[in-house]
Structure 1
Amino acid sequence: MIPRLSLTLLLLAPLLVAAQFGQFFEHMFQGGGGGGGAGAGQQQRGGRQDSNNVPSNSDWYRRNFDEATCNKYLCPGTLACVDKPTHCPCPFPNTEEKFELHPDGKAICVSKSGKVKGLTARKVELARKGLL
């Protein structure tokens, strides 16, 4: 009885995996995860990239960086104009916290650690001390 059940589960396992992760793999290898062809992240229309998609190179960023007007410090991650680098905002403030790294005078943005208040700050402090 047990070998028959094991054999049945072994035969059904690929179907269960396909049902669970099928769309993930389909998206990964066809619709948006890289690779070549017109269906892999870039829809081609007459040899041009679909205007709804951002280019896959850094031209868009460089163009916006070059066109940004700032007489102080231009933050490379957000293109915000601030007084000094440590004043740069995090690109995703809803999910990131900013920490200044003294004595460097630099700042980093770190993903928030769930709902426990202060956990991210504790992890950053442990990392500063080389304990994490």
Structure 2
Amino acid sequence: MNTLLSAGLILLLGFIGARLLKYIRLPSVTAFLIVGILIGPHILNIVTEEIFTASDFFSNLVLGVIAFSLGENFRLEEIKKGMKQIMWISFIAAFGTWVLVSAALLIYFVIVKVPIYPAIVLGAAASATAPAATVLVIREYRASGLLTEF
């Protein structure tokens, strides 16, 4: 299957999945993730590993559009005004995620009797979040408020 046809198939299935999952009030981003997992090489294998490798150009293009979209939302004066709140929210989100994920994995690793030190590293990796999905959900639901202004 050529790359352009594969990209079209991915877009079509993603769109259909997003429409179907909208009935159970899931954000489109979540629907795209679910469809991607289902059609990917590990479940239905509709989109194979080779297709994902060949579609690097499209992936980079889409990531560029998302990054541009995120950049147009930032207003320097708003960021300066709320810097203290932004720092606290960021710290609490990152630290809280690290603590919760590390603790959960620590408990799991103790139960299955494997070394526990990777739990801390995996907890740290989990705290590194990308804002793209968050911004897309905020836009989709037209959310507004103190936290959405940043």
TM range (shorter): under 0.3
Q: Larger strand proportion, structure 1 or 2?
A: 1
Higher relative contact order (CA 8 A, sep 6+): 2
After TM superposition, the score normalised by the length of structure 1 is 0.28
After TM superposition, the score normalised by the length of structure 2 is 0.26
Q: Larger helix proportion, structure 1 or 2?
A: 2
Structure whose CA Rg is larger: 1
